[in-house]
Structure 1
Amino acid sequence: MSLRRLLALSAAVPGRLRRPLSTAAASRPPWVLVSQASAAAGSAPRSTAHIVEPPRFSSIVVPALHVNTSAAPDPDSDVTQVLVGRVCSTSGDGLVLITVFDVRATAPILAKQGAKRVRQVTGIDPEHSPEITRFLCNLLTGQLTRLPDIVNGPRHCGPQLGVLTQADRGHGPPDRFAIAELQGNMMFRFLSDTGDWEVAVTAPCKLPLARPVYFERGRHDQEVFAFGGRLWWVDLTWGAISADPFSDQPEPRFVELPRGSVLPARSTGPTGRVLRTIEEGDALRRCALGRYRRMGVSQGSLRYVEVWDREPFVLSSFALGDEGSGWTLEHRVVLSRLWADGDHPWLPLPEKTTPQIAALDPLNGDVIYLMVGRHVVGVDMNREEVIGSSPQRTDCIPCVLPPWLESSRIPAAGKKDDDENKTLADVLVRSDGNHAK
């Protein structure tokens, strides 16, 4: 998501969220849709999560106190400081990776009310290089760990960063975590075992064609996700590359999309505002494939879903066989027919409105969440019916909330015998906003 889009979304997040749901297992959902737009506000030393059941989306506020910022602009100028947050990835077991940007926005002063200035944000200052802060957060307890700043490495890595946890016993609370971004034959990563950012050389990745993958250009179709002890980076024209960030020499593996879904390699796309040819329109559409295609984890399997961006809006779902043996078409539903006879608040669809994929239900392979106009809509493809909707719209990521999450801590970072790196959690703070001390 662009900074401009995040800036607009962050303005809609209230500074004080409603009281979170209880973290008792009986009163909280087993998983949530986490809004990718997070907020950094106030001087409280705690993070706050507003947890609600899908199709509504949950949200996070991290304390601005722990965000890297540059010198504040002149309060009488037309430039203001805005802290814009983005949930980049989830670990699959309740930990979320958040990046906060210290953005300078052009915001003319409309009026002055004593020391308070009323402004209207009109854009982002392109001359300002934002400070960047990265956090790992336990969604239920609010425990927050700030990752070390990147000193030697690609400072602006972020959209392709994913987080993966590992438990020594194979299940239960994690004992270690890794945060990584794949860049060609290099992996830039942070390992909790060492407490440092480092570069690892990967083994060669065998691709079926000699063409670049989209994320190697510094762009991304969707968030990185965790599955099968590996992180997955997706190029929605072609397939996904996965790798184990804990390995001394990660071995990338490629999984191609279902045969009928593979598209030609992307061009650089049209440069002008006017699309002069059909080919330019197709190129632009492929740059926005994250709206109509998604790969993810559901019910313990790797799945891929896509929806036509034209009437009659056909939604298809595929599951990958064991050991990557091939894709199986599980569902194909005509959305226009599915909700044609219902009294749904998003109907009739305004002109040029098309259903877009929001998320896969991580616990039910039959359920997909769509964004339709200003609504998030849950569809059960097996029963061919709408199972719920919410008059909210945002970019979101599914996050499972296992029972042990409410009592577990983020794994300590750094060598166990290194007092200087005891725990990054102790460097920062653990929120007690969602449970009693």
Structure 2
Amino acid sequence: MGLVADPRFPGHHMVVQLHPTPWTSFRRHATLLCYSTVTGRWALKPLASAPNHEPWGEHGVFAHDGLLWWVDVAYGMLACNPFDDYPHLRFVPLPAGCEMHDLGDRRPRPTKLMDQSHLIRPSQGMLRFVEIQSLSYDGAAVDDPRPTPPFECEASFADIWAHDSYVAAGLPQGKVAKLALVDPNNHDVVYFFQVRALFALDVRARRVLACEECLVDRQVQSLEFQYSRFVHA
């Protein structure tokens, strides 16, 4: 479910769900299930058009540029304006070389590792895609069969671990962190979970800017939810 501000009525919002929800049945969507704080009621809205696609994962939904965006980190995003009477749902693919359409039996879905190593979030008025590359989805290092796409900015974990700011923060060496957030005001700054710590990294400089303890589930003290699906900037 996504939450988006209602441009017609300041201070009001709409809750929207692509219907139905189980990712195993997602081939094509037909309706939106909507709740408006203006009317105080739930309603079904038929989609005027929607693309066919592979079974859809649930890796986040957010409002951006007046639209709602549903994310599948293996394929891309589905976007629409839920305030239209008959919304058009459109598909926006990942950057070339980042999709996971053609991995056959090795297609990594669904796994927590995909959430922990891929992220799409708005920052500085644009959508940003972040990927930790060369991770195996069964926990061992393997060669990625996809071609390596060009990225705006890249940094190796070896350089990050070796930086004096990482060492000074007392973070563990040789352990790949989990993606948490992209700074909404600076797309060069990415936040990571490293066990119980949340740290901010200037990717271009490889420098740790801040680090402190952050448990998503403080009551149970569980580390199960220490990744991007459960936190928002």
1:289 to 101, 111, 114: 114
For 1:176, the aligned partner's letter is: H
RMSD: 2.8
Going from structure 1 to structure 2, the CA distance change for 1:287 and 1:310 (only over 3 Å counts) comes to closer
SS in 2 for 1:336: helix
Structure 1 equivalent of residue 98 of structure 2: 261
Q: Is the 8 A contact 1:211 1:265 kept in 2?
A: no
Structure with the bigger RCO (C-alpha within 8 Å, sep 6+) is 1
Residues 32 and 44, structure 2, Cα contact 8 Å, conserved in 1: yes
Shift of 1:376: 1.1
**SS of the residue aligned with 1:358?**
strand
- What SS class does the counterpart of residue 97 from structure 2 fall into? helix
Shift of 1:369: 0.3
2:87 corresponds to which residue? 250
| 1:59-74 correspondence runs (5 A) | none
Measured at CA, do residues 265 and 235 of structure 1 come closer, stay the same or move farther in structure 2, by a change above 3 Å? farther
Which residue of 2 is the match for residue 194 of structure 1? Answer: 39
The within-5 A match list for 1:398-409 is 398-399=232-233
Counterpart contact for 2:68–2:79, Cα < 8 Å: yes
The CA deviation at 1:213 is: 2.3
1:354 aligns with 2:171: no
TM-score (norm 2): 0.75
Aligned-partner Cα distance in 1 for 2:42–2:102 = 32
Distance 1:192 1:329 in 2: 40
C-alpha distance after superposition, 1:5-27 (max 9, x if no partner) = xxxxxxxxxxxxxxxxxxxxxxx
1:204 to 41, 49, 55: 49
Please tell me whether residue 335 in structure 1 is matched to residue 157 in structure 2.
Answer: yes
Aligned counterpart, 1:164: 4
- Please list the CA deviations of residues 288-344 of structure 1 after superposition, one character each: whole Å capped at 9, or x if unmatched: 411110111001111111112649x9xxxxxxxxxxxxx983211112212314224
Matches of 1:186 and 1:226, distance apart in 2: 18
Secondary structure of 2:198's match?
strand
In terms of fraction of residues, the more strand-rich structure is 1
CA shift digits 1:209-245 (9 cap, x unpaired): x53322xxxxx12x21110111111111101001112
Residue 365 in structure 1 maps to residue 199 in structure 2: no
Tell me the equivalent position of 1:3: none
> Where do 1:18-37 residues align within 5 Å?
none
Q: Decide whether aligned partners of structure 1 residues 329 and 266 sit closer, same or farther in structure 2, where only a CA change above 3 A counts.
A: closer
Give unpaired runs (5+ residues) of structure 2.
20-28, 142-148, 217-225
Distance 1:211 1:364, change over 3 A: same
Q: Structure 1: where are the runs of 5+ without partners?
A: 1-160, 215-219, 268-278, 314-326, 400-437
Contact 1:346 1:374 in 2 (8 A): no
Name the SS of the counterpart of 1:289 in structure 2. Answer: helix
Contact (CA 8 Å) 1:378, 1:389: kept in 2 or not? yes
SS in 2 for 1:389: strand
Q: Quick one: which amino acid aligns to residue 231 of structure 2?
A: I
Aligned to 2:65: 228
Q: Is the 8 A contact 2:123 2:184 kept in 1?
A: yes
Contact 1:179 1:245 in 2 (8 A): no
Q: Which has the larger radius of gyration?
A: 1
Paired letter, 1:164? V
